[in-house]
A and B are shown apart, each in its own frame.
Chain A
């Protein structure tokens, strides 16, 4: 009897469970929560748009900061002699936003903002008495939009940027395009850029035209940056006026070509070639040149320059932990400069997420045909400069970088996915020496 009773009870329970399983979810049976130690994760079914690849979202934020310090004894402000001491603190942020359009093409919008503050000892000597301002700031925002077609492997984008500092303003526009080969192992790239710059004509103080004295007994002081002060015979400021300085234009047009090829599972190469044409005022108005007569003037350079750099990158995965990153560039231009640049960086993966990268870069160049040192140019020369940027020299740049990119975030901070620190020491045979330390943070 007891066995029959338990059988009927069990059958009734199974039937009830069966009926329960076929009840619709809006049944009143679901309105009372079952008693359980397990708490189910409640899905946000009301907000079905919580993940929508078509909606604009922030993909990555990059922050790069650098401190640069330089010394040397060939400043062009003082005609190829004098201090080249410079310090610069640079900071830049890039915000990458992505979304898919109706055709499921990936769109990327990158907004960037950079801010530099520099101090240049030679800038003081724009005024002959060494009293000009030595500090300056530069602000440079940028915007780029790129659309990528995943079916064809092609991308197209447009960009614009601006760079503004006291004596130099630059506007840039670009168009870029790339296309993968049919087997997706190669990619062609083309970037067309135009820079439209304005150089403020700040002359060395001895070349600033003197302002005529309107009242007897007064003194007029005109600074290189255009400020005019009228002082009384007692030295008191009677009036102070700011005159806008004239500007000259400088345009740069670039067509940059690239081709990338994956050779095998460990080796890939990239060929690069640019065609660059510059025109306008290509010198700087406060760079002095001292002739062999002892008289000084302002550097004079041709109003056009054609540059032709070609280069190659080669990256090879050696074994399981070492990568070789090699770079070579040959450069020539219409001012007679020929240059070689060769670089090798060797990231060593200590763990899959931490690498140490020593690097070395060699650079050499021949002199431009318009360069001569202090008091060597003749007044009969057509063009002249004593800027050691255009001299014959070699340079070495070496240092080390560290990269940390653990899957659970740097120092356990999930949003900080990537941290890089890099130090480099640079030395030219002109005795210019500099050090630069940089940090890069990538947030997702």
Chain B
């Protein structure tokens, strides 16, 4: 059990390092509010769409993986 946990933490560390590398490789520009018109477009929101809410529920019932998508990670049976 502890070995598995240790392996999981090591794998996660590698993935996080990769993600941080991608982020740091992309140069960030300091943006003024008037430069954010495209970023503030409703389609650019870094969230799930409202219309996706029930889709995410169905996926969490049929697949073992969940989380890291601002969706639910517990609650509700989904029994079938």
Instruction: List chain A positions with a Cβ less than 8 A from chain B.
Output: 62, 64, 66, 68, 70, 75, 77, 84, 86, 88, 90, 92, 118, 120, 122-123, 138, 140, 161, 163, 165, 167-168, 170, 172, 183-185, 193, 195, 197, 199, 250, 252, 254, 256, 258, 260-274, 276, 278, 284, 286, 306-313, 315, 317, 323, 325, 327, 329-337, 339, 341, 347, 349, 355, 357, 363, 365, 368, 389-390, 395, 397, 401, 403, 405, 420-422, 424, 426, 428, 432, 434, 436, 438-440, 442
Contact = CB atoms under 8 A, between A and B. Distances in A.
A310 B31 contact: no
Given A254-B67, A254-B74, A401-B51, A122 B80 contact: yes
Interface string B29-44: 1110101111101111
A421 B54 contact: no
A185 to B, nearest CB: 6
B41 A323 contact: yes
Interface string B52-77: 11110111011111111110011111
A186 to B, nearest CB: 8
Contacts of A170: 74-76
Nearest to B79: A284
A278 B67 CA distance: 13
Contacts of A90: 54, 57
Contacts of B58: 68, 70, 88, 426, 434, 436
Contacts, number: 235
Contacts of A403: 43
B29 to A, nearest CB: 5
Given A120-B80, A168-B79, A365-B64, A317 B51 contact: no
Given A331-B68, A401-B51, A432-B62, A161 B75 contact: yes
B74 A265 contact: no
B38 A266 contact: yes
Contacts of A84: 80
28 contacts: A161-B75, A167-B77, A168-B76, A170-B74, A172-B74, A183-B30, A199-B77, A252-B75, A254-B73, A256-B67, A261-B28, A266-B39, A267-B26, A268-B39, A269-B26, A270-B46, A276-B74, A308-B12, A329-B65, A331-B68, A332-B8, A334-B5, A335-B64, A368-B64, A397-B59, A420-B50, A422-B51, A426-B62
A168 B43 CA distance: 36
Query: What bracket does the count of chain B residues touching chain A fall in?
Result: 35 or more
Contacts of B67: 254, 256, 274, 276, 307, 309, 331
Contact of A309 (B37, B49, B65): B65
The listed residue with most A CB atoms (<10 A of its CB), out of B15, B51, B75, is B51
Contacts of B41: 317, 323
B12 to A, nearest CB: 6
B69 A327 contact: yes
Contacts of B68: 256, 272-274, 309-311, 329, 331
B15 to A, nearest CB: 5
Contacts of B76: 138, 140, 163, 165, 168, 170
Nearest to A307: B67
A278 B41 CA distance: 38
A420 B44 contact: no
A418 to B, nearest CB: 8
A254 B62 CA distance: 20
Contacts of B26: 263, 267, 269
